[in-house]
Structure 1
Amino acid sequence: MLRFAPSPTGDMHIGNLRVAVFNYIVAKQLNEGLIIRIEDTDKERNIEGKDKEILEILNLFSIEYESLFYQSANLKYHQKMALQLMTEKKAFACFCSDEKLEELKEESIKKGIPFRYDNFCENLSDETVLNTNAPFTVRLKKPEQNIKFTDILKGDFDYAPFDIDSFIILRQDKTPTYNYACSVDDMLMDISMVIRGEDHISNTPKQIHIRNSLGYTKEIKYVHLPIILNAQTGKKMSKRDDASSVKWLIEQGFLPSAIANYLVLMGNKTPTEIFTLEEAIEWFKIENVSKSSAKFDIDKLRFINRKHIEMLDEMRLSKILGFADADIGKLAKLYLEETSTIKEIKSKIDDIFSQKNSLEGFEDEFKIIKESLKNATYFETYDELKNYVVEKTALKGKNLFKPLRFILTGTENGPNLADIYPFIKNYLGEIVR
């Protein structure tokens, strides 16, 4: 069983989506189920509606999953297992105040050493604990031996007990911390492989230690994916980068199929540059993903998006644009030489159907041509239409073609009118209204 575990604390960014895509592909390859686990235990940071937004995005990208869980629903298990750890003397109540811990941190900073808990509360007697009315957290005792694991991409890791420390597993309000909830849920859900970002590497030994302390012996395989860099700045993609938001990319008119294509392509050796997720399932190998940071280049995504728009069925493309006519889909593809997103294409189509009242520098010609078109009958070809307008207006050269193009397309340049006309001839009355 694999899992994708997003937090409803903000927009889904491309790093999250890449993790979701890779989990989906590998789950399909291993013929295992994929669980979506909404990690919502940090109530102060949760944003209402973001969980639904995450699920909508997964649906847009056709990422199928076996079941959906909310982490907060497992609170009773988190607390029960913490009590078990305390009973077995593997965890202890910590009464140290936030102020006291902050003092210890400041002392560590002054000494130039990493902050570690001083274990003041670890050896308190049961009687002392029972007679203390102050609020407390629950800390897991640091391991007695090194915690080792092998990452499929990055190789072997070895963490000493000092690195792991005696860390908090239950807060004062008795809700679980991230690492504790995550490791318990992975146990309960029988997770066999965890694919996530490399910013979680330092969490992995803590989660292994939690499971070891609970007597869980099943090995979980790990893949920690490199971070994604902005190709222009060379820095890690952040919330300030519009392109880091999947929602923003969709709003800009990038197709889910193209975005998924690019996320698999980034930092990876693939047999072809343009492909679908279904095709990727046939040849994708998680161990072949680059160990180095991947660079997100919006121009490369634009190129891939154009290719995916080209592959769309014309009727489907027209429906995406708000029509139900294959001719509009064919018309849309004419604009792919100068556009690369659905939003940009829609702007071109909207220009065609917009109200045009005049053209600066050609006001008289515009008026005469538009009047002739309003009285025109149906013409099968562009040449027939052009000859009719010439006959009715006696215009020629730029005095004919500039205003005629503007009336028919709403712009002064673009694809040849002869190429455009076959797809707009049935809408002529609406276009020249």
Structure 2
Amino acid sequence: ADTDKEHNIEGKDTEIMQILEKFAIERDLVYHQSEHLNIHQTLAIRLLQEGKAFICECVSQSRCKGTCETLNAEGYQSLKAQGNPFVIRLKQSSDAPEIDSVLIMRTDNTPTHTFASACDDMLSNIDTIIETEEQLNDMPLQRHIKAMLGYDEPTHCVALPTLSNSEDVSIQWLFEEGFIPDAILNYLLLLGNSHVPQEIFTLPEAIEWFNLDAVSRNDVRLDIEKLRLINREHLKMMDDKTLSKLFGFADADIGRLAKVYLDAFSTLKELDTKIKRIFAPKNFDNAWGESMRTLESIIMEAPAFDDFNALVQHITQTSTLTEEQLDTPLRLLLTGEETGPELWTIYPYIKSYLLEVAS
């Protein structure tokens, strides 16, 4: 709707296309309303010629003051010659007396969003429109516009529930916070839908049972904690190698490593922080620094161990550290943190990177 300059957000169209791609939603056609500007203008002129619309000088009013409908062709030419601003409005119709002098073309010769949408839907023969209740409020006017243009094909409108507490939340924000498309889709399809066979599902599964008519029109609230739980389950279901690619790897072991942290965390953003700390250069400037240096030296010279307990045994035999004494410095050396999952659950997935990790 880029003809509505007041509300048009630069770059929003690109963002929407990128979001659709992330959800793997195919589109048949993409166009900007401005691409049909000449068609909108032609249709508005047609309504003028047919006496269904009129030139109006009341450009700053929501309705005509009541004197412009009598403006004849000579008066119209005079307005143009003098450069006086004017708009085009619909005339009141006996078929819809409540629709009176509605604006359809602005002073800059661009259409209103409602008029452009009605024209575009008519030209594309759109038969179903899915919006929130609020956004469907102007559908009676759009139907009236299409009827005045001679289009009488029915349009089925479906109202979706409105998120009542989503002022500061957008799909893009959810992505940035580490929620994945499958989980977001899963959560959104649950909203207002009482006919759901299971709480966790994929899009192909949902296509088998989803029914728009079963969705409640009542407002719903966004529950981030519920979304986090769903996101965690979808991350668990994700292919290990695919998951690793989201952290810059192509190794199933890194995907499995990330899943170890899903007992406590639930978003890509949180998991990415953990993975980065494991592979980041370690800080030896702390109370455990000396022990960490000792462990680093031992690990750099040690043979490769498949089993974590074998590595620990080698360290205790090579150093003066007991198992109890090496727990915290070894954890800091391998994960960059003093707390976290048991090291034996992490080791199988980092052993191939041990020389990189332990430094």
Q: Which of the residues 119, 123, 127 maps onto 1:192? A: 127
Which of the numbers 210, 215, 219 marks the counterpart of 2:154? 219
Distance in 1, Cα, partners of 2:334 & 2:137: 61
1:228 and 2:154 are equivalent in the alignment: no
Give the C-alpha shift of residue 69 in structure 1.
1.4
| Pairwise CA distance, 1:123 | 2.8
Q: Which has the higher contact order (CA 8 A, sep 6+)?
A: 1
Residues 246, 406 of structure 1: alpha-carbon distance in 2 compared, 3 angstrom cutoff: same
- The match for 1:145 among 91, 95, 104 is 95
Residue 350 (str. 1) matches residue 300 (str. 2): no
Question: Of 303, 312, 315, which residue of structure 2 is paired with 1:386?
Answer: 312
Q: Which moved more, 1:43-52 or 1:264-273?
A: 43-52
Distance in structure 2 (CA, Å) of the matches to 1:167 and 1:87: 17
Pair 1:43-2:5 in alignment:
yes
1:178 maps to which residue? Answer: 113
Distance in structure 2 (CA, Å) of the matches to 1:429 and 1:320: 23
Q: Give the Cα separation in 1 of the matches to 2:285 and 2:352.
A: 24
TM-score normalised by length of structure 2: 0.94
Q: Secondary structure at the match of 2:341?
A: coil
Question: What is the aligned partner in structure 2 of residue 80 from structure 1?
Answer: 42
State the distance in 1 between where 2:214 and 2:38 align: 40
Would the aligned equivalents of 2:257 and 2:346 in 1 still touch at CA under 8 Å?
A: yes
Cα separation, partners in 2 of 1:87 and 1:145, compared to 1, 3 Å: same
- 1:66 corresponds, among 28, 31, 34, to 28
- Listed as ranges, the matches of 1:181-330 within 5 Å are 181-230=116-165, 237-238=166-167, 241=168, 244-269=169-194, 270-330=196-256
Answer whether contact 1:405 1:412 (CA < 8 A) is retained: yes
- Which runs of no fewer than 5 residues in structure 2 stay unpaired? none
Alpha carbons 1:95, 1:135 under 8 Å: kept: yes
Identity %: 45
Residue 356 of structure 2 is aligned to residue 430 of structure 1:
yes
Which is further off, 351-360 or 341-350?
351-360
Determine the structure 2 residue equivalent to 1:404: 330
TM-score (norm 1): 0.79
Question: Could you tell me which of 47, 54, 59 is aligned with 1:92?
Answer: 54
Number of aligned residue pairs: give it: 355
Alpha-carbon shift at residue 165 of structure 1 (Å): 2.4
Distance 1:97 1:79, change over 3 A: closer
Q: Over aligned residue pairs, what C-alpha RMSD do you find?
A: 1.7
How far off is 1:340 after superposition? 0.6
Structure 1 residues 357 and 174 mapped into 2: Cα distance closer, same or farther (>3 Å)? closer
Query: Residue 104 of structure 2 corresponds to which residue in structure 1?
Result: 169
Shift of residue 168 of structure 1?
0.8
Shift of 1:357: 3.4
* 1:340 match: secondary structure: coil
Contact 1:257–1:276 (CA under 8 A) maintained in structure 2: yes
Structure 1: tracts of 5 or more residues without a match: 1-38, 102-114, 147-160, 231-236
SS state at 1:302 partner: helix
Q: Which residue of 2 aligns with 1:10?
A: none
C-alpha distance in 2, partners of 1:45/1:205?
22
- CA deviations on 1:208-236 (whole Å, 9 max, x unpaired) are 11011111110101112231122xxxxxx
Provide closer, same or farther for how the CA distance between residues 97 and 175 of structure 1 changes in structure 2, counting only shifts above 3 A: closer
**CA apart distance, 1:299:** 1.0
The 8 Å contact of residues 362 and 399 in structure 1, kept in 2 or not, is answered as: no
Query: Contact 1:140 / 1:167 at 8 angstroms: preserved in 2?
Result: yes
**3-state SS of 2:221 partner:** strand
Alpha-carbon deviations, 1:282-324, whole Å to 9, x = none? 1111011112112111111111110110010001011111111
